[in-house]
Every structure is written in C-alpha cells, then in structure tokens.
Structure 1
Amino acid sequence: MDSDKKQFSIPKFLKSLTREIIVPVALALIVIQYVVQAFQIPSGSMENSLLTGDFLLGLKFTYGSPIPFTNQKFPGYALPERGDVVIFRYPGEPEYPDNNPARYTHMFNALMFGNVYWDHEPADGQPHLVHYADGPKDYIKRCVAVSGDTLQVHNGVLAVNGEWQRTLPAKGKWTASHRTSSPRDERGPIVIPSVGDTLYVDSLSLEQLWWLRSVVVQENPDSRVEYDISLWKDGVEANNYEFEDFGIPVESERGFTLNALLQRNQLVLQRVNQGDTVRGKMPFAFYRDYARIAFLPVVIPEEMQGSFARRVSYMAFEGAQLQDLEGNVAQLNARLAADTLADSSAAVTDSSAAPAKPHFEIRKKLIVDGNPIDRYVVKTPLFFMMGDNRDNSADSRYWGFVTLRNIRAKAFVLYFSFENDDQAFALGNPFTWWRLPFRIRWTRIGKIIDLID
C-alpha cells in the first residue's frame, strides 16, 4: 500500500548525499592536494629502475604540500637527499602562458586536462580562457646532488664531491657507444649554490646566467623575468650582425639550432657523426630572440581564432645551446687578433700604427619586473636531477637546477604497471582488449621505489 512506502525526506536525502558523495569527494580532494600525487612514467629516462608504463604514487607531504591559491608550500619534514627519486615541476617551461604573470591569472588545475588561465588582454577575436593542457609538466628523476655539493660529469660518469660513481643506482644503465663534449658526457665542475649565496651576473657565462634565470623564475613565480643578450662590435651595438662561419656541433640536444643553421644555408647532412661541426651563416638575432622569450611556442595562437579557449603549448630552448654562441664569438675574436698580428708584422715600413680590428663582445642582462639586476641571492635549496638511464635522459645537465619550490613529491610506490610499447592494446579498439591481462607487469605492482635494486 502507498501508506507503507517511505516518504521522501529532504533532510534524509541531504544526509545521504553528504555521506555517500560529498564527504568522499572532499576527502579525495584533500588527499590529492596534500598527501599523494599520481604519476605515470612517460619515457625511458629512468630505465631500468622505472619503466615506461609504470604508474606510481608520490608523497607530497614529505617535502611540503602546496598551500591552496598561493605559490607557497607547507613545511615538509625532510629535504630531497642524494639518491631520492623525486617528482618535480619541469623548470624549462613557463609557469604562466608567455611567461607573463601580469597578463594571465591561474584559475584552476583540471588535473588530467591541464591548467586553465584567464587572459586579461586577449588579442582581437581571441577568448579570455587559455588552456595550458600539457604544462607546466611534471618530471621524475633521481636527485644526485644538493646545495653545497660539487659535481662533475666526465665521459658520462658522475662525480659528487670528488667521488666518482662508476656504478649506477637501482637498475640504471649507460647505453652510449661513444662519448662527445656534449652536456650529456662532460659537465663541470659545478658548485650547487646554497641558500644565501650571492650570484653576480657579470661573473657568469651565458649558460650559467641561463641557469640563474631559471632559478629566479622558479623562486619568483609571480615576477616577469627576462634574459637579454646583445652583441657589440668595437663598443657599438650590432645585434643585426650575421656570422659568416658559425659552427654548431652535431648533437641531439642541439637539434633546434642545428636545424635552423641547415635551413638557412640550405644544407643537407651527409656522412656526419655525433660531435662533428656543421658551419654556415647564422644571425645573432636568432639567439637573442629565443634567449629573450626562453621557450618555443608550439601552437600559434592565431590558429585558435574563434574557439572557446585558446590552447597554448611550449617546448624549452635549452641554455646549453648558448655555449655555441659564446664559443663562436671567442673564435671570431681569436681570428681577428691573429689577423691584427699578421698585419702588424707585415707593415714593417709603415711608421703608423696598424688599424684596430673589430672586437666583439656579448653583453648580458637579467631583468626582473622591468629592472636589470646585477646580483641575486638564492632563497631556497637547489637540487641537481639526473635520470638513471644516463645516456638517454634530458635532465639538469641541460636545464640546470631545480628549486625546492618546484619539488612536488617523493616517489613512493608502484601501484600499476602496463607494457604497451608496441601499441598492440588500444582502449578504443575492443578487439584488442583481450591483451590487457597479458600486458600488466604483475611482479612490479606494489614495489616500494626506494627498495628497487
């Protein structure tokens, strides 16, 4: 009978809704925000300690959980130590679109869908919403050195505080058949700055200043940091100068600048090896422009005209490529000095002094919120990260130090592992689903990362 049926009660419904949905969701969000971070290994840079397709959990509170709606962190109970496997925000991409925190407001992180920003000054026809889907990315590497340490890499082997590490941690490996002078194989000695250390702009090479720029950006996320270089010839600014015989080594990490040189000179590489040098014309403005913006836009905003949200994406312009610029200027000056000496020796019958030859120098500035700075005091501990797959890892050898603020979590445990390198399993193809149980790496599930050996 109808009278026997339970009458609908709004208080009971709200109580049930709170107990079954709201409280679990709130607790899950608290855990995600303060306790753990899920991470999937996307590449082979940590092989064979961690494999592509490993899914792991990292502990956020170990190094400090983020404070909501701020750029600050709660204090952690530990700092990253040498040997820790760490999840961190990659320092090679802008935290805000176009590296412009004044123009963009971070609205929220949509987890697997990326970050959403509000553009206060959109171009004509562009939406205010900006979707930064793939960034800033999170990376996972092993911490190999901390503030105060001195490190060096020679022939691909790392030394920390003078102690050479000829065996790798966990299941790490070397794979290269030959060595070159690339950052992968040769680095340092490098002293990792400590909190309170003062670094002077004028005393740093172009690449060292690039690394400092990264530290300033990481420690001051709401500031606009610019890296400005200019070329001077005999005391006169010459930013439009074009090098006639600019050399770039054939190395994988120099792919961007090497391709630019080849395209500008309509060259095709034939029978070259890693470490060989390719030469051609190269304008100084190429390096000046990319050093200033510090990253390479992948998606052109104009292509998103009329859409609901403008999608942006970036890839890093590695500071190691500035070594080539500095080296070519030094070689140019050496040739000019040799020519001057030859002219002076030949002009034995000329009582007047030989005319001065052009002299080139690169002047550099680090500009924070529109003001050039000549020094910077380090605010937080710094860390040097490397992959266990030492010859196939883009890490601190290329893009410098990671600050404590960029540290996200300590890698803790593998909760799932799935091998699909050949893409034989596809979620969108039901005919491949039968492969799923055979693709799971059952023996890896539940492994504590610190105990992998």
Structure 2
Amino acid sequence: MEDKPKKFSIGKFLKALSREIIVPIVLALIVIQYVIQAFQIPSESMEKSLHTGDFLLGLKFTYGSPIPFTNQHFPGYTEPKPGDVVIFRYPGEPEYPDNNPARYTHLFNALMFGNFYWDHEPEDGQPHLVHYADGPKDYIKRCVAVSGDTVAIHEGRLYINGVKQDTIPGRGQWTATFRTKSSPRDERETFVVPSVGDTFAIDTMPLEKLWWLRSIILQENPDSHVEMEISLLRDGVEDNNFEFSDFKVPVESERGMLLNAMFTRNRTVVQKRLTQGDTVSGAMSFSYFRELAKIGFLPLLDPHAKGGFTRQVSYVGFEGSILRDLEGNVAMLNAPAVVDSAAAVDSASATPVDTAQASLQADTAQVAQSQPRLEIRRRILVDGKPIDSYVIKTPLFFMMGDNRDNSADSRYWGFVTLRNIRAKASVIYFSFENDDQAFSFGNPFTWWRIPFRIRWSRIGKFIPLI
C-alpha cells in the first residue's frame, strides 16, 4: 500500500525555514556582532610575529562589544595591556564620509564589501547611497603603552618608563641601516600617554601634538564635526597666502605627500637619487598646510562625481610630521642672525678681507632684522565652535608594529582611544602564503597550488606571539 503524499503545510515550511536558515543566520550575526571578529593580516608590519596571509579571530567581548545602532560599547572585563595584540579602527581616516556625521547616516557594515551610508544632502545628480568600500579600516598592532606610561624612541628603539624594550617590539624581519632624527620611526622625544582627566590648552601645544589631540577628540566625539584651523600672522597681520621661498623638507617616507606637492609646485626634476636623511627645498604656500589641517583627510575619488546607484568614497590621511616641518621652517625664518664676535675686528689693524667679512655679516644681520615676524595661530573647532582646552575622557593606548622599521603606527598618527578598540587578537585559524602572487582566485590554472601554500604549522597558534 503506497503512502499518501503529505500535503503542503505553510506552518511546517516556515518552521523548517526558521530552523535551517533564519536561526543560524541570526546566531551568526550575534556572534559576529558581540563575540568574534575575523581579520586578515594585510601587510608586513607585524612580521615575524604575524605573517602576511594569516587569518585571525579576535575576541570582541574582552574589551567590550559594541552596542547596536550607537557609538557606545558594553563594558569589557579588561582593557588592553602592554603586550596585547589589538585590532582597532584606524584613527587616520574619517569614520563618516567627509568627516561629516550630520550629513551622513551609517546604514550597515557589509563586511568584506565595506560600509554603506545615506547622504541626506547629495549634490545635484548624485545618489543618496554612499559606498565606503575600503574604510573605515581596521588595523592590528601591539599595545606597547597605556595611559600614564612614559614613551620615547631613540635610534629606532622603544623606551617605556625609561626602560629599553628588547622584545616589544623588536622581532621584525627588517632593520634599517640608516637612522635619522627627523623621522618618527627613529626618534620621538619623551612624552607621557595622557590619562582620563588630563587637560590640554589648545593655543600652547606644538602643531604636531595638536594634530594628535584632534584625533583623540574625533575618536571620543564620533557624532561631532571636528576641525583644526591654523592661521599665519605676518607682523601681526593675518596672511594665509604667505609664500615660503625656500621651504626645507627632510626626505622621509612619511613626507611623501609633502615632497610630491613641492616637486609639483616647483616643477622640479630630481637630478640625483634622494635617500633617507637628505633635505630638499623649494617654494611652498602656507595655504597648502592650512587646507590640509582643516580637512584632515584627502579624498582619493572625486567627491563631485555624478550618476550611478551609489557614490564611491575613499580617503588617505596625512602625517602630523608635516606640521612639525611647518613649525620648523617658521622658526628658522624668525631666528635672529648671529654675528660672530671674533669677526668684529679693530679698524686700525684690519685687513681689507677682514673688513669685507665684517661688513657682509653686518649686512646679513640687518636683512634678518628686516624680515617679517611670523606666528602660527591655532584652534580646534567642534561643531563649528572653537574650544580653548580639552579634557581626556577615555583611556588611551600607544600602538606599534613588531616589525618596527616597517610599520605605520602610533609614532606617526598618535593615540588610540578605548572606543576605537575592536577586539583582542586571539588565534590564527588559517594561514596562506602568497607573497609572490602565484595563486589567484581569478585564474583556475593556479588553484592546484592551494594545498602547497597553506602554512599548516601556524593554524591554531594563539596570540600574542613574542
């Protein structure tokens, strides 16, 4: 006797659909939101502790899971400690497009496809939907100092509370053979990582450290629009179009943006190979630095592009050392000429050469005295209103890559706030070596290499690896 076919039941169908698809998806989203974060090592900044091609799992709840649809976090059971390998939101680019939270609303994170935002004030011909495909980026570095710690870098070596650190960092695969005092990679004067409650006066801070403070304010106030405004006074009169006729820039990797602008402005053709530690000079306008400090992030794509279902945005940040170069050049112009007293000779015994040298030095001093006196005024604006001082609200952390001579880290862009911390790196769940790019998903003829490219010995390793 044949079984009768069962009648279709919408109730049973929905129950099965919920059990097999909806519930697993919801559980996966809960885990992704509150428990773990997957991360791939994209660069060599953590070599040889972590390799390019390592795939990690980070624990979110360790430092506090994010609260949905807010900029807040649930309390974690600990804070980052020196030695922890930490995944965090890179503070060197905007969290919202154009650094404008009032104009844009974050819709959702599409994981590997980036973030989507709603533009409430699109230009004519632009769509409302904005796709931030490559950001805000997550970085992974080792926490080397926390609030209250004293930090210094000398000849590329890290000192914490006056003690040279031989293991954190220091296991990098590449070490520079040439050191220079003008690069944050090699030299940072002693400073203290700020603590909660520390107050900073805006108008007395060096420009580079003010740039770091601006980053802290942005991280601690994600729903506010924060700008840094600098102005140049020439003999007390504002002159933001002042031209430096001989602006000097040290040749360092972090000065690439400034060097390119200088070469383009002066239409300079480099006649010799430039190396780390060289200095180049040329004409530069103060307005270049003023605009950079104000916008903070340079768009890599045309912000006025029209058409399409979405508008694409992408940004690159600039390093605060550019502002240090600006202050240094202003100080050089303001420095008085020093006349060597030994060169001042008695007219009765002076030779014609002695008299000529003394006259030249006197003329030089007179020209220096006639140079205009330059002063840089600075201020921070939060939602369009200037502030005189700022009080630190959250714990701060100083991050460095283990491959210290090949790492863009806190030495360049400053501190990471607790709010920007995403997860504590925990375990390597997969590792794939493809430095020579011999494997490609787009080329099926290379797929046979997959088993031979997996780093089997690294799978399951726990972090930190020191």
Q: Which interval holds the TM-score relative to the shorter structure?
A: over 0.9
Aligned to 2:269: 268
Q: Is 1:420 matched up with 2:434?
A: yes
Q: Is the 8 A contact 1:43 1:52 kept in 2?
A: yes
Report the CA distance between 1:265 and its aligned residue. 1.1
- What is the number of equivalent residue pairs in this alignment? 444
Matches within 5 A, 1:275-424: 275-303=277-305, 305-334=306-335, 357-424=371-438
Q: Is 1:25 matched up with 2:58?
A: no
**Whole-angstrom CA distance in 1 between matches of 2:362 and 2:25:** 85
Larger radius of gyration: 2
**Whole-angstrom CA distance in 1 between matches of 2:379 and 2:371:** 26
**Whole-angstrom CA distance in 2 between matches of 1:437 and 1:310:** 39
Q: 1:170 to 1:274 in 2, by over 3 A?
A: closer
Matches within 5 A, 1:236-275: 236-269=237-270, 270-275=272-277
Q: Is the 8 A contact 2:83 2:168 kept in 1?
A: no
Q: 1:109 to 1:426 in 2, by over 3 A?
A: same
- Over the aligned positions, Cα root-mean-square deviation in angstroms equals 2.1
Q: Cα deviation per residue 1:134-156 (whole Å; 9 max; x = unaligned)?
A: 11000000000000001000000
Q: 1:237 to 1:169 in 2, by over 3 A?
A: closer
Q: 1:93 to 1:7 in 2, by over 3 A?
A: same
Q: Cα deviation per residue 1:235-257 (whole Å; 9 max; x = unaligned)?
A: 00010111000000000010000
Q: 1:346 to 1:175 in 2, by over 3 A?
A: closer
Report the CA distance between 1:267 and its aligned residue. 1.6
Letter in 2 for 1:364: R
Q: Is the 8 A contact 1:336 1:357 kept in 2?
A: no
Q: Is the 8 A contact 2:46 2:172 kept in 1?
A: yes
Q: Is the 8 A contact 1:132 1:312 kept in 2?
A: yes
Report the CA distance between 1:80 and its aligned residue. 0.1
Greater displacement, 61-70 / 8-17 = 8-17
Q: Cα deviation per residue 1:344-392 (whole Å; 9 max; x = unaligned)?
A: x959xxxxxx986410000001000111011000000000000000000
**Whole-angstrom CA distance in 1 between matches of 2:2 and 2:245:** 94
Greater displacement, 107-116 / 166-175 = 166-175
Q: 1:346 to 1:17 in 2, by over 3 A?
A: closer
TM-score of the superposed pair, with normalisation by structure 1 = 0.94
Runs of at least 5 residues in structure 1 that lack an aligned partner in the other structure: 348-353
Aligned to 1:148: 148
Report the CA distance between 1:166 and its aligned residue. 2.9
**Whole-angstrom CA distance in 2 between matches of 1:311 and 1:382:** 32
Q: Is the 8 A contact 1:34 1:66 kept in 2?
A: yes
Aligned to 1:350: none
Matches within 5 A, 1:100-119: 100-119=100-119
Q: Cα deviation per residue 1:424-447 (whole Å; 9 max; x = unaligned)?
A: 111111111100000000000000
Q: 1:7 to 1:274 in 2, by over 3 A?
A: same
Letter in 1 for 2:140: I
Letter in 1 for 2:455: R
Greater displacement, 3-12 / 370-379 = 3-12
Letter in 2 for 1:284: F
Q: Is the 8 A contact 2:202 2:388 kept in 1?
A: yes
Aligned to 2:72: 72
**Whole-angstrom CA distance in 1 between matches of 2:289 and 2:423:** 35
**Whole-angstrom CA distance in 1 between matches of 2:413 and 2:452:** 38
Q: What SS does the corresponding residue of 1:427 show, helix, strand or coil? A: coil
Q: Is 1:83 matched up with 2:97?
A: no
